[in-house]
A and B are shown apart, each in its own frame.
Chain A
Amino acid sequence: MSAAVAFSPEQLAEVRRLQALYPDRRGALLPVLHMAQDTFGWISLDVEAYVAGLFDLSPAHVHEVVTFYTLYFRQPKGRHVVAVCHNLSCHLAGAPDILRHVRERLGIDVGETSDDGRVTLQSVECLCACEAAPMMQVDDRYELHLTPETVDRILEELR
């Protein structure tokens, strides 16, 4: 394991606090993995092994959890994550055109990260904003009622 993969003492205290919240401390695995992703950028095999050590689990079990969910990044991601909804309402409201536009603008395909490390593009299932379709999520916020013009403006602002 690389020496860089380690939480600070404050973070370790937080891990212990989270573990104490559940009758089985494995319940804290998801929030701790999110902490790890925020801290280390993405979940490498080294990070999985490190987190496994905090829970006295085999790394394989942490890998099971990480591969089950889509919100854990198993490769380095860009500084920003753009997730375009491709589910039914957005699809009917023009999501394929929006996604094509985003791909052309960024010059990358779904699942890829721009060469400058600025943006990672995803295509995702329903994010529960059908009333504002088509929509996408940019980092922690929703961008609604998308048009090619608003997409350009939003992408411009990402640094």
Chain B
Amino acid sequence: MKRWLSLLAVVFVMMVGMPASAFAASVAEPQTLRVYNWGEYVSDGSDGTLDVLAEFEERYPNIKLEYTTYASNEEMYAKLKSGSASYDVIIPSDYMVSRMIAEDMLLKLDFDNIPNFLDVMEDFKNPEYDPTNEYSVPYSWGTVCLIVNTDLVTEEVDSWNALWDINYDGNILIFNNSRDAFGIALKRLGFSQNSTDPEELELAKQSLIEQKGFLQSYVMDEIFDKMESGEAAIAPYYTGDGLIMQEENPALEVILPKEGTNLFVDAMVVPKGAKNKEGAETFINFMCETEIAYANVIDYLGYSTPIQSVYDQLDEEILNDGVSYPSEEYLATCDTFINLSDEDNKNLEEMWVDVMAAETGTEGGNPIFLILIFAVLFGLSIYRAVKKHRNREL
């Protein structure tokens, strides 16, 4: 017995006294840098590409990366907003950057630590979402495209309407986040993707509910599998990712719809509460290095680059593939998300839950039923309690 106890005590002291890091071979006292990025959004060394994160740790042996991922801007925002977590570097999209600036959630960057910022193309400096360019450094940019499996879809597709085509019942995927999904619905109806007009939004919401009837599922990163393996026929997604899927499955075609689409920039920022701001700036600077950015954004991600020296090295093939760097005229038809007011954001989020919650065919369900269920259960429990009480008295 005593032996057991002392053994337990030893194990216990060991566990309390030793943080996980004690098990890693430590060089000096490594500082950690917590990076929170989109899933599938950094080159990880698979298929002969450069493992960017490993490269970073090799270059800066005193910095230990803690890399975690999120599936959408909204998920990342919720996590930060709840105050349950803090990070050193995050990579939100344009509208989310401006929302976070507006809500005072970001730190101003020290650009002396980010000399590679000079290499950012002029078009991407002082962007709308960060007009004074004090908070962000662009990571990559791109558009939202339609990905079509030509094995399953024989007709020519050039419009968002394809996502509402009943012929592909059960074979359509759509974004599992409010902004992108509403963006597509609005654009299809000919409205601005930044519309806050209640009537336009209501129409978009109705069309998303209608679409639910022939949808396969709502997806984010799960889309890679589903499109590559031929699980689904048509889906919208980020163009760079579409090109990656095309490499895996040549039957896929990447199409920019004629109505125009969403143009986005994802930028690196440092949120308030960061514990290693200097490390964060080192990381941001590293990601902008020509070689790294080329390996990461061009070789691996297939997105478009905001870095001049990378752009200068691009192959003709990429420049002319029609989707990575669309023409000026096409870009003019595209919208970039702007930050909505608190009220509008909340509204959009609620409408999105409504879409997700909607039962096709029925209108929301009558609350009376719910109240009825509660009443019946309550009645039953009272009945039981009374019966029990009586039994006891007998």
Do A and B originate from a single complex?
A: no
